[in-house]
């Protein structure tokens, strides 16, 4: 590893952790890939190596570095302290389980510096549930990718009410630097923007960012595969998907309000937004 390259840590080396590691390496960052068992880390590194070589062969490798150069930027470890040492950004990618994630952020809280960004990949856990009470809460944010982040660039940035605005800006700039399409949510809401796409009456995201959620996120995916195949591939099959995300899906669906009538004030408001962003 080049000691001068900025370093990031990925906590959890599963599906999303591996994809984030590849995205960061493609942007020239050093990556420490952490997991609890060595066997998983080894498997993850082998999987990344295989994928990158295939991508290079087919001319689809991201970034300006060759596959071998990118691979030399990624190392694995099973020691959390070693993983986060000297990092500018920590991307947590552990299973979607509130208690587990709280425990991990609690451990990180004890060992991180005062300027590192603590970011979670969570699909549907709210920042207030994850980060409230942490000493470093001002440095915490959700950066929710779309699976797989290597191919679909959208990332939803969701701050905790106490997140320092500079952390949101820093994360936004970092995501841009590694070729992702970040969008900013002004406040947390169940389902963020992606999973409640048409329900923006709360004003949680700008009109331009809402359109990006589709053009650089869901739209890219749905041009190739539909929602059922997506669910099946986003976990170890559909039953496992329901097992992992059932609670979150129910919460999001329950939080949808009444159906707007698309007339009067609402109709005028949508029209004004479209004029403003140049659609009409």
List contacts with ligand NAI (CB under 6 A): 11-17, 35-36, 40, 93-96, 104, 121-123, 144-145, 147, 234
Contact (Cβ atoms closer than 8 angstroms) between residue 8 and residue 86: no
Q: Which helix (H) or strand (E) holds 10?
A: strand 7-11
Name the residue among 115, 117, 120, 89 with its Cα closest to residue 104.
120
The residue of the chain with the least Cβ separation from ligand NAI equals 14
Distance CA 217, CA 196 (A): 13
| Shortest Cβ 13–ligand NAI spacing (Å) | 5
Closer Cβ to ligand NAI, 5 or 49, answer by number: 49
Task: Tell me if 77 sits within 8 A of 32, measured CB to CB.
Answer: yes
Give me 118's structure tokens.
Answer: 């603590």
Q: Of the two residues 42 and 208, which places its CB atom closer to ligand NAI in the complex?
A: 42
Q: Which is nearer to ligand NAI, 6 or 14 (CB)?
A: 14
Beta carbon nearer to ligand NAI, 253 or 277: 253
To ligand NAI, the closest distance from the beta carbon of 256 in angstroms equals 20
| Distance in Å, CB of 270 to ligand NAI, minimum | 29
Please count the CA atoms within 13 angstroms of the CA of 203 that sit on its side-chain side: 3
CB of 177 to ligand NAI, least distance (A): 20
Beta-bridge partners for 119: 91, 141
Smaller CB separation from ligand NAI, 11 or 140: 11
Least distance from ligand NAI to the Cβ atom of residue 118, Å: 14
Coil/strand/helix, residue 234:
coil
């Amino acid at each position: 590893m080049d000691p001068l390259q900025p370093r990031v840590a990925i906590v959890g080396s599963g599906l999303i952790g591996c994809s984030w590691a590849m995205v960061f390496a493609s942007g020239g960052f050093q990556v420490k890939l952490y997991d609890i068992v060595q066997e998983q880390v080894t498997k993850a590194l082998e999987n990344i190596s295989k994928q990158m070589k295939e991508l290079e062969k087919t001319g689809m490798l991201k970034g300006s570095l060759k596959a071998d150069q990118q691979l030399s930027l990624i190392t694995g470890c099973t020691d959390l302290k070693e993983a986060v040492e000297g990092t500018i950004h920590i991307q947590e990618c552990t299973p979607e389980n509130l208690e587990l994630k709280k425990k991990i952020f609690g451990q990180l809280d004890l060992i991180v510096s005062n300027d590192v960004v603590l970011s979670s990949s969570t699909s549907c856990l709210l920042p207030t549930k994850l980060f409230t009470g942490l000493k470093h809460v001002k440095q915490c944010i959700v950066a929710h990718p779309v699976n797989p982040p290597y191919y679909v660039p959208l990332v939803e940035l969701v701050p905790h009410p106490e997140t320092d605005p500079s952390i949101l800006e820093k994360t936004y700039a970092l995501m841009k630097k590694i070729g992702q399409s970040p969008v900013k949510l002004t406040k947390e809401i169940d389902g963020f923007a992606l999973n409640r796409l048409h329900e923006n009456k709360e004003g949680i995201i700008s009109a331009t960012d809402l359109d990006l959620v589709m053009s650089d996120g869901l739209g890219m995916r749905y041009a190739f595969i539909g929602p059922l195949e997506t669910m099946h591939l986003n976990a170890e099959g559909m039953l496992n998907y329901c097992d992992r995300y059932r609670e979150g899906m129910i919460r999001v669906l329950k939080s949808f309000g009444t159906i707007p009538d698309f007339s009067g004030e609402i109709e005028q408001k949508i029209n004004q937004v479209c004029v403003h962003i140049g659609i009409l």
